[in-house]
Structure 1
Amino acid sequence: MNDMDMTPYEHLGGEAVLKEMVTNFYGFVKQDEVLAPLFPDDLTETARKQTQFLTQFLGGPSLYTMEHGHPMLRARHMPFPITNRHAKAWLGCMEKAMDSVSLQGPLRDFIISRLTMTAYHMVNTSDDSHGKENNY
């Protein structure tokens, strides 16, 4: 298989690298003052589902859909107030996680571009409604 036939998931390094990146991501989330209050103390299941989703999102096996059905991300996130500030913080943690696995270059740019669209698509609450100023 040549590089042109590889998915972003395969270019990233597959399951091992993605799991490491997601584990590191949630370590950063736990330390983030904006995001930490939104997440449960035990992030084991959250990280497992995120790994499944990102595997599929990046062209790997459809693990998330096989276990949970269609991702329906916006609907699944609707019960949680998500602001532009949250989306920005989430992306910041993801960028740190990418740094932690030395993900650089066009693949990183591609992934962060797709995740940026997804993160801001999840926004369902104004920053003002939480007394926070829009930071982007």
Structure 2
Amino acid sequence: MTFTDPAASFYASIGGHETFERLVEAFYAGVAEDDLLRPMYPEADLGPAARRLTMFLEQYWGGPSTYSDERGHPRLRARHAPFAVTPQARDRWLRHMRTAVESLGLAPLDQAMLWDYLERAAHSLINTPEDGTR
């Protein structure tokens, strides 16, 4: 199903929780092996980060409000402020996310809608120039 039914949320139309879980799992498979991004995740296990991203994306796209219920307002820039998010880090993040998005096999319009948001969000989180000075 593509997101053409105005009564349905994007979340529901692309498969709900299972789809977002697959997206995040594929994304973190890439992050786990990435020498630039992996150190930005202080927990030894990426599971908690994966759960937070899943909850955030589900809520953003019309799913359950679990993220806000548990963590409050997303405050994306503030939550990422402790990390040096450089253009290179953004590009790596986008590379892993692109692979994950493409792995879902979504309808082209749904994939484009999801990718557009992810790309804009990644660009908005840059907080450090490429040389790493803050």
Note if 1:114 corresponds to 2:107. Answer: no
Letter in 2 for 1:123: I
Task: Provide the alpha-carbon RMSD of the alignment.
Answer: 1.6
Is 1:88 matched with 2:115? no
Moved more, 98-107 or 67-76: 98-107
Q: Quick one: distance in 1 between partners of 2:116 and 2:99?
A: 15
Find the residue that maps to 1:4 and give its secondary structure. Answer: coil
CA offsets per residue over residues 39-65 of structure 1, 9 Å max, x none? 243101000000000001111121110
Q: Which runs of 4+ in 1 moved over 6 A?
A: none
Give the unaligned 5+ runs of structure 1: 131-136
Matched, 1:44 2:47: yes
Query: Sequence identity, in percent?
Result: 36
Give the drift of 1:102. Answer: 1.4
**SS of the residue 1:98 aligns to:** helix
SS at match of 1:125: coil
CA distance in 1, matches of 2:20, 2:132: 35
Counterpart in 1 of 2:23? 21
* Aligned equivalent of 2:75, options 72, 77, 87: 72
TM-score by length of 1: 0.87
Contact 2:101 2:115 in 1 (8 A): no
**Whole-Å separation in 2 of the counterparts to 1:4 and 1:121:** 28
Gaps of 5+ in 2: none
What amino acid is aligned across from residue 61 of structure 2 in structure 1? L
- Name the CA distance, whole Å, in 2 between partners of 1:115 and 1:74: 14
Q: Distance in 1 between matches of 2:112 and 2:127?
A: 25
Number of equivalenced pairs: 129
Distance 1:95 1:126 in 2: 23
In the alignment, the residues of structure 1 paired with residue 121 and residue 94 of structure 2 have an alpha-carbon distance, to the nearest angstrom, of: 10
| In 1, Cα distance between equivalents of 2:27 and 2:83 | 19
Q: Is the partner of 1:3 in helix, strand or coil?
A: coil
